[in-house]
Structure 1
Amino acid sequence: MSTMVLPAVHTSTRLGAGPSAAGHVRLTRRGRLAVFVVGLLVAVAIAVAFAGGSVATSEKGEPVPTDTIVVGTGVTLWDIASARAEGGDVRDMMSTIQQLNHLDSGMLVAGQRLRVPAAG
């Protein structure tokens, strides 16, 4: 292994000797806090700028025509979705029914009222 020796440089012999003249900058606690706050503000500004694209439009949408059904004993969400899917994907219909009724799962209770897409 080899060792390299560099000559010592005295900053006091240069003009304008000080921390900035040597290229070194040290931040105080207050300076680090200021840099953090500015960075945080920039991040929030960027987030707000990108979130502006997800605002609802002024165009009116067409509501999905629905029917209300009452769940019978032993009837599952799969049964209801397969009856309404009309040859389409039953899983997509299950998802649609869950979204229309704000269901967390596919579990249903006898007597429960559900909004389902209208039969076409």
Structure 2
Amino acid sequence: MSTITFAPHVSYSRPTVRLTRRGRLVVFGFGVLLAFAMGVWFAAGSTATQDAGVEQVEIVTVAPGETLWDVASDAVANTGEGNVGDMVARIQDMNSLDSSMVMAGQKLRVPTE
């Protein structure tokens, strides 16, 4: 007696997908839209507050004959911190002053903390 066995031939071939030019454009646009949506979603969780990082200032009017050093020494005396040279630099930076020259009647922002 003879035996016959049938072994089915199984082929595991993937069907190929070909995108046209329009299809590639649609897939690219979808990817950009998805990236934009994720960026908006992640950015929605961040909020700015007024609590941290805000420097308290006082507006001071320069009196006749008063120098920036005088204004800074008064600010150091009121706050009790730092030295006058550092305060002069902070006042110059806060008011965007190019030099230490100030005019009578000029209004300056001076840190109060």
What TM-score comes out, normalization by structure 1 length? Answer: 0.47
TM-score by length of 2: 0.50
Larger radius of gyration: 2
